[in-house]
Amino acid sequence: MKILLKKHLNLLTIIIGTLFLVVSCSGNDDKADTSVKEVTGSASIGLIDDERILQAESEPGNWLAHGRTYEERRFSPLKQINKETVSELGLVWSKDMGTNRALEATPIVVDGIMFFTSTWSRVYAVNAISGETIWTFDPQVPGEWARKACCDIVNRGVAVYNGKVYSASLDGRLFSLNAETGEVVWEVDTIIDRTRSYTITGAPRVAKGKVYIGNGGAEYGVRGYVTAYDTETGDQAWRFFTVPGNPDLGFEDPAMEMAADTWNGTDWWEFGGGGTVWNSIVYDPDFNNVYLGVGNGSPWSRDIRSPGGGDNLFLSSIVAVDADTGLYKWHYQTTPEDNWDYTAVQDMALAEMEIDGQMKKVLLQAPKNGFFYVIDREDGKVLRAHPFAAVTWATHVDLETGRPVENPAVDWTDNGAWVLPGPLGAHNWQAMSIDLEAGLAYIPTQENPFFYAMQEDYKKTGIYKWTPGKWNMGIEMSSLAQNILNNLDSQPTPGGFLKAFDFLTGETKWSVPIPHYWNGGVLATEGGLVFQGNALGMFSAFDKDTGETLWEFNTYTSMLAPPITFEVNGEQYVSILTGSGGGDLFGGEPLPPIEIQASLIYNNFGRMLVFKIGGKESLPIPNVRDNTIPEQKMVQVSVEQLQDGESKYNQNCAVCHGFVAKSGGALPDLRKMSAGVHDAFNQIVLEGLLASNGMASFADVLTEQEVENIHHYVRARAYEDREVALGNMEEPQYTWFGVEEE
Ligand code: CA
């Protein structure tokens, strides 16, 4: 049957639109219906100040800060739910969040009230034991801002402090809300240049009368920084840039002058440089430091970003700054000369432990690059750096120099190469949990390889064209799908693992394989349990000593968010948000042998689920989603049009709608477009017909002809996959644009 397709192609015959199936082309998300603020009660809570968060261990019933305490170890002393009782764990309440896009928040729970965020940076205050909504706040993010976000309209949570709730919006505003009513106390714009694609998805952190917030946008070309604001007034206290700007304009501080020495070329600042702090910011009361987890370079390719080499500080680094002044203290760079999107934004935990016979105050991080770092908080020296997952980019970290030793066998400068980890990392933002007593980190790890190749245009011309409003990576994106699919045989098999990892010895105590790589964050407890939700929709409790599954609950939805636990009126609860997507949008529907995630089998129901011992509520089993691809109709197009369509699709559309036009479930699968959507295709892509849902106009980067070619490409992919589903074709011919006419 391959011949049939080739024959079609030889006739330059492709297929067009269909008539009867109706498939929504916008993400299902009731943004337009939500008023700015709805209040149905009062979220009365006790005063939360530095002292109370410092003493968080003494009130384990509350989850007072993003990582539970300032140390952010996400390990709870609660043990009513334990190895013996967990079999009785059941659902108490669930709340439908009205979205089928990813939910990533860690709730704050204090005095029976739960504060968390949903899509579009909406904030909720909810009764933690009944699920009743007390107030909601919608910052009314302009829909078109979604195009500036690499990884969808997600948000990872709020901070609660001194009677206020602090939250940031996708379009870069920071809010102080009255914790009882949700009313806005103050609002500031944190973005220094609104013409660049800055976004915020991270949770603010608070300490010492300041609220700390960073941003995202490295893929689009921004310059990273973190700002501290006065919690009461919103006045700016300090700002720390993570990469240097144009030296001709002078440096903001001596740290930037030092950093500039590690960059080369004549105009790196035009590209922005990257280094965004989009996830982890940790306050350290022991040293009065704030630690910034700094992201990848912009563009990804170091040869383009900084021709002639250089470490490019402070990319992929952990930077310690003074909490009061924002002045630089020390840094540790996990990935000098980042060439792979290896962020160091992953969660950081603080601990004090004996290492080599000495008590040390340490910082723990498992960043994307696959090494688990134990860093001395006193001076930033690396004490351990064992690999916690499959790593090929480097052979090891030299503890004498503190630097990784790169593996020349997978240098992709001249020839593309498979590398582990890929850009999703060996561990991403999905939080780990640290069990100090056992000396273990429970880490959601992944082995997800990537085929890195230099951008063809740049290889030919030596000139890199930076385009605002698009992904700027310096990677060959136009043929990325084909590069990957053509090299399937040599591709290391992707997979996910929940690992219990001894970060001092480098030993893996146990490892639970998961047949999909993109899974949720982790919570461990004194009850001897490790909780995690996974891509297949199972929310599970594992024995923390063996990794044995002791309990599981089918949520029918893929999960990314970390579970938390809290106690109200003497009863312990566990909660988790469901709904996947985020940074894996690009992955779309997984290719075999990876198992299809729950969000594709059923749907991607955004829900808050809360459990306790004896909970009796049940979740309705959702209908299996209709994945039928409508019939397509034939029209004549040229191979050149299809090739251009594929190239433009991969550059502009794949990041949300998935590789080879297969969606990952959160955003519309374009192969299933209805006739009406086909008819409106140009209006949607060029005129912003669905901008309020996040599908902004691409008129600034695409011509009408290019949009038409993309449309042809999507139809062609739909035709092919339909033929495979009907048994008329053995397998999809992803490479068919290269087929010679016979
Ligand atoms: Ca990145």
- Structure confidence at residue 377 (pLDDT): 98
- Structure confidence at residue 321 (pLDDT): 98
- Whole-number Å distance, alpha carbon 201 to ligand 1 midpoint, is 13
Distance (Å, rounded) from C-alpha 160 to C-alpha 341? 32
Q: What percent of the chain has pLDDT over 70?
A: 92
The one-letter code for the residue type at 545 is D
- Whole-number Å distance, alpha carbon 219 to ligand 1 midpoint, is 6
- Whole-number Å distance, alpha carbon 368 to ligand 1 midpoint, is 10
- Whole-number Å distance, alpha carbon 341 to ligand 1 midpoint, is 5
- Structure confidence at residue 467 (pLDDT): 87
Q: Dihedral of CA 628/28/133/72: which sign?
A: positive
The boundaries of the domain holding residue 720 are 627-737
- Identify the residue whose tokens are 């001897």: 528
Least confident of 48-57, 197-206, 235-244, 578-587: 578-587
Structural tokens at position 363: 């910082």
- Whole-number Å distance, alpha carbon 218 to ligand 1 midpoint, is 6
Distance (Å, rounded) from C-alpha 606 to C-alpha 622? 13
- Structure confidence at residue 18 (pLDDT): 31
Distance (Å, rounded) from C-alpha 511 to C-alpha 443? 10
- Structure confidence at residue 15 (pLDDT): 37
In 296-409, where do the E strands start and end?
Answer: 297-298, 317-322, 328-333, 348-355, 358-365, 371-376, 382-387, 394-398, 403-406
Structural domain contains residue 477:
no
Interval 225-253 mean pLDDT: 97
Distance (Å, rounded) from C-alpha 156 to C-alpha 158? 7
- Label residue 28 by pLDDT band (50, 70, 90): low
pLDDT digits (tens, 9 = 90+) for 593-612: 788 899 999 989 999 999 99
Interval 174-198 mean pLDDT: 97
Interval 561-580 mean pLDDT: 98
- Whole-number Å distance, alpha carbon 121 to ligand 1 midpoint, is 20
- Whole-number Å distance, alpha carbon 339 to ligand 1 midpoint, is 11
Specify burial of residue 265 (Cβ count, 10 A radius: 0-12, 13-18, 19+): middle
Structural domain contains residue 294:
no
pLDDT digits (tens, 9 = 90+) for 669-726: 999 999 999 999 999 999 999 999 999 999 999 999 999 999 999 999 999 999 999 9
- Whole-number Å distance, alpha carbon 15 to ligand 1 midpoint, is 36
Distance (Å, rounded) from C-alpha 144 to C-alpha 696? 5
Distance (Å, rounded) from C-alpha 573 to C-alpha 568? 8
Rg (CA), the chain: 25
- Whole-number Å distance, alpha carbon 269 to ligand 1 midpoint, is 17
- Structure confidence at residue 2 (pLDDT): 31
Structural domain contains residue 332:
no
- Give the number of residues written for the chain: 742
The secondary structure of residue 203, as a DSSP letter, is: P
- Label residue 92 by pLDDT band (50, 70, 90): very high
Structural tokens at position 203: 């949770």
- Structure confidence at residue 734 (pLDDT): 66
Total domains present in the chain: 1
Distance (Å, rounded) from C-alpha 277 to C-alpha 224? 7
Contact between 427 and 444 under an 8 Å Cβ cutoff? The reply is: yes
Q: Mean pLDDT in the chain?
A: 91
Contact between 75 and 524 under an 8 Å Cβ cutoff? The reply is: yes
Supply the angle between the helices 639-652 and 704-725 in degrees, to the nearest 10.
Answer: 100
pLDDT digits (tens, 9 = 90+) for 153-171: 999 999 999 999 999 999 9
- Structure confidence at residue 634 (pLDDT): 66
Distance (Å, rounded) from C-alpha 98 to C-alpha 153? 14
- Whole-number Å distance, alpha carbon 340 to ligand 1 midpoint, is 9
- Label residue 492 by pLDDT band (50, 70, 90): confident
**How much is the pTM?**
0.94
**In this model, does residue 3 exceed pLDDT 80?**
no
Contacts 24+ apart (CB under 8 A), 719-725: 719/14, 719/15, 719/632, 720/5, 721/629, 721/662, 721/671, 722/629, 722/630, 722/631, 722/632, 722/671, 723/1, 723/5, 725/628, 725/629
In 269-357, where do the E strands start and end?
Answer: 273-274, 281-284, 289-293, 297-298, 317-322, 328-333, 348-355
pLDDT digits (tens, 9 = 90+) for 432-446: 999 999 999 999 999
Specify burial of residue 266 (Cβ count, 10 A radius: 0-12, 13-18, 19+): exposed
Structural domain contains residue 654:
yes
- Whole-number Å distance, alpha carbon 626 to ligand 1 midpoint, is 33
Interval 354-364 mean pLDDT: 97
- Identify the residue whose tokens are 């909970």: 615
Interval 234-263 mean pLDDT: 97
CA dist list (Å): 584 to 66, 151, 455, 476, 537: 23, 8, 22, 19, 16
Contact between 213 and 174 under an 8 Å Cβ cutoff? The reply is: yes
- Structure confidence at residue 440 (pLDDT): 98
Structural domain contains residue 674:
yes
Distance (Å, rounded) from C-alpha 77 to C-alpha 61? 9
- Identify the residue whose tokens are 């080369």: 264
Task: For 593-654, give the DSSP string.
Answer: TSPPPHHHHS----EEEEEEET--B-PPPPPPP--PPPP-EEEE--HHHHHHHHHHHHHHTH
Per the DSSP assignment, residues forming a β-bridge with 387 are: 371
| CATH code, domain carrying 730 | 1.10.760.10
pLDDT digits (tens, 9 = 90+) for 514-538: 999 999 999 999 999 999 999 999 9
Distance (Å, rounded) from C-alpha 507 to C-alpha 635? 59
- Label residue 17 by pLDDT band (50, 70, 90): very low
pLDDT digits (tens, 9 = 90+) for 44-72: 889 999 999 999 999 999 999 999 999 99
Q: Which of 29, 152, 284, 341 is catalytic?
A: 341
322 part of the active site? no
- Whole-number Å distance, alpha carbon 681 to ligand 1 midpoint, is 29
- Whole-number Å distance, alpha carbon 298 to ligand 1 midpoint, is 8
Structural domain contains residue 680:
yes
Task: For 393-429, give the DSSP string.
Answer: SEEEEETTTTEEEE-GGG--SSS-EEESS-TT-SS-S
What are the two backbone dihedrals, phi and then psi, of residue 450, each rounded to the nearest 5 degrees?
Answer: -140, 145
- Whole-number Å distance, alpha carbon 349 to ligand 1 midpoint, is 21
Structural domain contains residue 696:
yes
Specify burial of residue 415 (Cβ count, 10 A radius: 0-12, 13-18, 19+): exposed
Contact between 566 and 523 under an 8 Å Cβ cutoff? The reply is: no
- Whole-number Å distance, alpha carbon 453 to ligand 1 midpoint, is 16
Structural domain contains residue 635:
yes
